[in-house]
């Protein structure tokens, strides 16, 4: 796009090789004004078939595509939605991004995705840059930006944020039922006769991790079991943290027959650690994850997990941001969580 060529000579016509065509070139070719071509393209006017056809011919001849920057400047919109993702290469969030893209494309929008890398400073930088790029709206997919910041941003651009409950103008939040999901998992374990249920959390102060821990505790209490802090270990949302935390748990004096993990990746790590120690899943220890990654169905053994339909959440986020942009006040909630029982959980040994 870098213009190394002089401006087109006024009298000249025909396509300039290597340069993209402009509205004026098309207009000259079709023998009308740029205004008319613009209106025909945007369908804001009715014209004779003949005229329409000759304009279309000119467009085709030049392979004309309206310049998005110019259009955006004139219209004050870019048809682009910024997305702040935790990680672009996460098997979990990836599905959500796909949902967002799908939901957006149907209405002529495209997502501009940036990775927050699980760091609050990065998330801020993303939002700033997205605003500078003039996106029409921003979807904050999870993350830990403060409510206050989010409300502030919502003053300059519509915002959808997932994993949080928050009320503000031009902002839609969709709370994921983390606590409920945890309760589903723990109840399932209780039903199988387990009484010593360990939990591996994610990064300690992450809202999702806090909610999931809360659900775990609550289900335990409902089941008449005291919460035992020695049965909780800290992971890092990834396999490696699952391995380390499981090893810690195993080394401590506290026994457990079931292990609930803050997400599937953590559970993968836990399974490997258990395997290394000669423990069999689910014979010796039952394991449950959270997220239900596509590959969890294909683990050995297939992993029992709490499913939150992240792809669907992505699509709803897309729908939400578009409604917000249209000036409406959407009433959209996150999809329900459900427990997918597979083969990594079984009856408590000796129960």
The binder of 46, among DNA, a copy of itself, none, by C-beta within 5 to 8 A per type, is DNA
- Separation of alpha carbons 246 and 319, rounded Å: 40
- Separation of alpha carbons 145 and 47, rounded Å: 51
Minimum CB distance to DNA smaller for 7 or for 167: 7
- The 8-class DSSP code of residue 230 comes to G
35 touching a copy of itself, by CB under 8 A: no
The binder of 24, among a copy of itself, DNA, none, by C-beta within 5 to 8 A per type, is DNA
71 touching DNA, by CB under 7 A: yes
Which tokens in the block code for residue 92?
């979990």
Minimum distance from residue 35 beta carbon to DNA (Å): 3
8 touching a copy of itself, by CB under 8 A: no
CA distances from 158 to 94, 164, 316, 320 (A): 23, 16, 15, 10
Q: Is the bond leading into 336 cis (omega within 30 degrees of zero)?
A: no
SS3 71: helix
47 touching DNA, by CB under 7 A: yes
Minimum distance from residue 235 beta carbon to DNA (Å): 44
Which tokens in the block code for residue 146?
């403060």
Minimum CB distance to a copy of itself smaller for 63 or for 229: 63
Backbone angles phi, psi at 314, to 5 degrees: -60, -45
Binding DNA (rule: CB under 7 A), the pick from 39, 149, 238, 347 is: 39
SS3 233: strand
Q: Which residues 6+ apart lie within 8 Å of 183 measured at CB?
A: 215, 216, 218, 219, 222
Minimum distance from residue 159 beta carbon to a copy of itself (Å): 13
133-152: contacts with a copy of itself (CB under 8 A): 133-134, 136
Strand 232-234 relative to strand 137-140, pairing:
unpaired
Minimum distance from residue 133 beta carbon to a copy of itself (Å): 4
75 touching DNA, by CB under 7 A: yes
- Separation of alpha carbons 178 and 215, rounded Å: 7
**Segment interacting with a copy of itself (CB under 8 A) among 30-38, 75-83, 140-148, 229-237:** 75-83
**Segment interacting with DNA (CB under 7 A) among 41-49, 94-102, 284-292, 331-339:** 41-49
Q: Where along the sequence are the contacts to DNA (CB under 7 A)? A: 3, 7, 22-24, 32-36, 38-39, 41-42, 44-48, 51, 64-67, 70-71, 73-76
């Amino acid at each position: 796009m870098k213009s190394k060529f002089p401006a087109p000579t006024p009298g000249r016509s025909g396509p300039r090789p290597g340069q993209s065509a402009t509205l004026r070139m098309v207009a000259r070719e079709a023998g009308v004004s740029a205004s008319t071509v613009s209106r025909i393209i945007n369908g804001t006017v009715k014209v004779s078939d003949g005229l329409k056809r000759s304009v279309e011919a000119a467009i085709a001849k030049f392979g004309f595509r309206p310049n998005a920057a110019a259009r955006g400047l004139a219209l004050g919109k870019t048809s682009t939605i910024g997305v702040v993702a935790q990680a672009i290469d996460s098997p979990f969030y990836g599905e959500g991004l796909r949902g967002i893209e799908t939901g957006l494309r149907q209405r002529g929008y495209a997502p501009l995705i940036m990775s927050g890398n699980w760091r609050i400073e990065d998330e801020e930088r993303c939002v700033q840059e997205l605003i500078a790029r003039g996106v029409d709206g921003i979807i904050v997919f999870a993350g830990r930006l403060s409510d206050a910041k989010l409300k502030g941003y919502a003053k300059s651009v519509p915002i959808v944020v997932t994993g949080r409950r928050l009320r503000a103008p031009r902002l839609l939040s969709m709370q994921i039922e983390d606590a409920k999901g945890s309760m589903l998992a723990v109840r399932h374990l209780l039903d199988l006769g387990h009484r010593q249920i360990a939990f591996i959390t994610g990064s300690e102060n992450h809202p999702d991790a806090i909610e999931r821990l809360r659900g775990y505790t609550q289900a335990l209490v409902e089941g008449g079991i005291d919460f035992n802090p020695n049965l909780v270990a800290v992971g890092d949302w990834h396999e490696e943290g699952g391995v380390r935390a499981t090893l810690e748990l195993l080394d401590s004096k506290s026994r457990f027959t079931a292990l609930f993990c803050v997400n599937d990746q953590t559970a993968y790590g836990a399974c490997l650690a258990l395997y290394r120690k000669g423990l069999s899943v689910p014979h010796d220890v039952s394991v449950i994850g959270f997220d239900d990654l596509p590959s969890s169905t294909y683990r050995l053994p297939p992993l029992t997990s709490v499913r939150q339909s992240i792809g669907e959440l992505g699509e709803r986020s897309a729908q939400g941001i578009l409604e917000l942009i249209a000036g409406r006040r959407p009433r959209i909630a996150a999809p329900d969580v459900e427990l997918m029982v597979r083969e990594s959980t079984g009856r408590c040994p000796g129960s």
